[in-house]
Amino acid sequence: MNWIILILALFLIVFEAIYEGLKIRKKHITSGVIEFIYLAIITLIAFAWISGCRTPFEYQEATFWKVIGGYLLLRFALFDLIWNISADQRWFYLGRTKLYDRFLSKVPTGFIWFIKVICIPLALAWLLNYGQ
């Protein structure tokens, strides 16, 4: 168990330092990919701990994956809007540096927000009923 704690601590330190260093060097895409991996693993660990499972495949009812899916849908629906408001940007602003923003900029804005609105009730249903 001590090795797992050490590996986790090193992962958290190294990945955060790498993606922040690359961001300073203006390597936005590479930084964004590493930041995504970093945040995805932290999110998986947090939800695994909350769900009480040791491996993602421990539950027969896929409870863990329902929580992860609900989180991802809710994040997709709310993150950009909250970020844009806090950054004093237009509500529907999409950046140009991350792969996610570059991909979404090719999709009509109205369609993106339509999908985001649909994701909210689905995410809430998965998150509020994850144990049933």
pLDDT tens column, 60-110: 456 777 878 888 899 889 988 888 888 788 888 888 777 888 888 898 988
In the chain, the number of structural domains is 2
**3-7, 17-21, 28-32: which has the minimum mean pLDDT?**
3-7
**Alpha-carbon span 43 to 45, nearest angstrom:** 5
Q: 32 and 48 in one domain?
A: yes
Q: In 3D, which of 52, 45, 22 has the Cα closest to residue 34?
A: 22
Which pTM does this prediction carry? 0.67
Same domain, 47 and 9: yes
Distance CA 53, CA 28 (A): 34
Cα 55 to Cα 46: distance, rounded to the nearest angstrom: 12
Q: How many CB atoms are located within 10 Å of the residue 32 CB?
A: 20
64 with 118, same domain: the answer is: yes
